[in-house]
Amino acid sequence: MSGLEYHSPEAAALTFRILSDGDLADLAALWEESWQETFPGIDFAARRNWFLGHMRALQSAGAVTVCAFDKEGHLQGFATVDPATSYLDQLAVAPAAKGKGTARALLGEARRLSPGSLVLDVNEDNARALAFYEKEGFKKTGEGVNPRSGLKTWRLQWVKAP
């Protein structure tokens, strides 16, 4: 599916494409910028190499990353989901695109890839993300700790209504 481009009815202003190797640098920059805004006390620039390796490992294991681009072709966000496990590993939106429907559209793409359910871990202190996922029908199913930051996390799950 690499390089496939399509438009989504959820966000008419966005174009979606499956991640290609040429997107990784922009993906890493967006990931860093988005997380740095969310948790300014953590040095995400120092984690860039980890992120790139993590994304390559996810792709090798069968995960799919959908990238959202605006009309000018600028990356606005991405979501990474493993359809075999329903695990949503990444959902990141550029700070300038937050509050404009990009996250909802990307979540729609994740649900398209894993239509029965989605599972994710979210930092307990990430109030914006928690409110978003709750609004989108996710329920808390467990607790944990992020091994990289030591921050407490919540396991959330969405299950398609029968």
Among 71, 55, 50, 61, which Cα is nearest to 19's? 55
User: What percent of the chain lies above the pLDDT cut of 90?
Assistant: 81
pLDDT of residue 47 exceeding 90: yes
Task: Report which residue type is found at 20.
Answer: S
- pLDDT at 162 (0 to 100): 85
Helix H, strand E, coil C: the string for 78-105 is EEEEECCCCEEEEEEECHHHCCCCHHHH
Q: Which two tokens stand for residue 107?
A: 């979540």
- pLDDT at 12 (0 to 100): 56
pLDDT of residue 6 exceeding 50: no
- Give per-residue pLDDT as tens, 91-100: 999 999 998 9
Residues of the chain by 3-state class (helix, strand, coil), percent to 5: 35, 30, 35
Q: Rg of the chain's alpha carbons, rounded to an integer?
A: 15
- Give per-residue pLDDT as tens, 105-158: 999 999 999 999 999 999 999 999 999 999 999 999 999 998 888 889 999 999
